[in-house]
Structure 1
Amino acid sequence: MPRNVEMKAKIGDLEALLKTAQQLCNGAEPEVLHQHDTFFNATNGRLKIREFADLATQKSEIIFYDRPDSKEAKISDFLKVNVENAGLLKQVLDMAIGTKGELKKKRSLFIYGQTRIHVDEVEGLGNFVELEVCLNDEQGLQTGQLIADDLLQKLGVSKSDLLSGAYIDALPASCK
């Protein structure tokens, strides 16, 4: 199962963070993704269907991931599978286990070494940066945490702004 180390933080100055991330990535423009995530009531980990609103292929995927809710760096084990009929699959999962909630976000994706930098604008919640350090088979939490901590410092993100949990957990009930 693929693994990465993740950290997430609230950001105040979206434009400054985007500029810094772009500078770190040698001026590369981010890939901008408009994502609609539907979360389901999974008994283990988290389960969601992600739909990409702006791709001509109408790509969608179902994603299972399991990670602790911690402000510190954490290992996330995950599986992703492409789906062709997201609407029907959402209906089936809603009938079987229930829908927990939905959220929409604009994600600016940068790649820095082995790390995916997500600068997220989440509807109803605000602006965030999420780091995903993609681990190889020989790497563990400690290595991933060192990489993430270094990158957070380079991005100017304070440890006091780190968050635990998923965006869906922070959304007010009226927005889910």
Structure 2
Amino acid sequence: MTISNEVPIVQNLELKAISSCHQACVVALKQMPADFKASIYQIDTYFHCPTGRLKLRQMVDRAELIGYNRPNSQTSRYSQYQILPISNPDSLKQILTQTLGVKVVVEKQRALWLFGATRIHLDRVENLGQFIELETVIQSQSMEEAEREHQRVKRCLKIEGRDLIGQSYSDLLLFNR
């Protein structure tokens, strides 16, 4: 496991919504035009922790430990997160499982699209269904510029209030148990 001295804290403006038709989203994304980047199978193992959320994300070619804080809100919300690349995820998972305990495991197939500073995720989550997530990374632009871009993508994809979800996939899976 490689740990650098400093893991930057990054801020997002994000939202999650139920998606009734990924095909319609793909058409809208192409018209924006957003760029398709990848189709990724992800396994997120969430661990019990006293504050925020902690998950180990495992993909075919890499793994990351992600710590983040965000409110559960049915509107666009700000979150702060840190991502640490992990070279030995199985050993880390064993240690975290023994010390913190596993809260829940989320498995999903994700289609990743990019538009400016916004990541658009078309997700198929095992035992939950289809969702769309927007994550506008706030780095080189102001919060106002990020908000404008976020709202533009939301409008283009016709994401409406009734489709918005405030909980994480992990919370939804725990609620459905």
Question: TM-score when scaled to structure 2?
Answer: 0.88
8 Å Cα contact 1:73/1:145 also seen in 2: no
In 1, are the aligned partners of 2:40 and 2:110 still within 8 Å (CA)? yes
Tell me, what secondary structure is at the counterpart of 1:121? strand
Kept in 1: contact 2:36–2:114 (CA 8 A)? no
* Counterpart Cα distance in 2 of 1:105 and 1:45: 21
Contact 1:52 1:60 in 2 (8 A): yes
**2:126 is aligned with 1:118:** no
- Read off the aligned partner of 2:64 and give its amino acid letter: E
Percent of residue pairs identical = 31
Q: State the one-letter code of the partner of 2:55.
A: K
Q: How many residues are matched?
A: 169
Are residue 46 (structure 1) and residue 48 (structure 2) matched?
A: no
Give the Cα separation in 1 of the matches to 2:116 and 2:162.
25
Q: Deviations over 1:72-121 (max 9, x none)?
A: 11111111011111111111111111100101111111110111111111
Matches within 5 A, 1:21-32: 21-25=29-33, 28-32=35-39
Unaligned runs of 5+ in 1: none
- Of 129, 133, 138, the residue aligned with 2:136 is 133
* Mapping of residues 1-176 of structure 1, within 5 Å: 1-25=9-33, 28-53=35-60, 58-136=61-139, 139-140=142-143, 143-172=145-174
The answer to whether the Cα contact below 8 Å between 2:41 and 2:108 also exists between their aligned partners in 1 is yes
Q: 1:172 to 1:136 in 2, by over 3 A?
A: closer
Q: Any unmatched runs of 5+ in structure 2?
A: 1-8
- Detail structure 1 runs of 4+ shifted over 3 Å in the superposition: 142-146, 172-175
Pair 1:73–1:173, CA change in 2 (3 A): closer
CA RMSD between the two structures: 1.8
Rounded to whole Å, the distance in 1 between the matches of 2:140 and 2:33 is 25
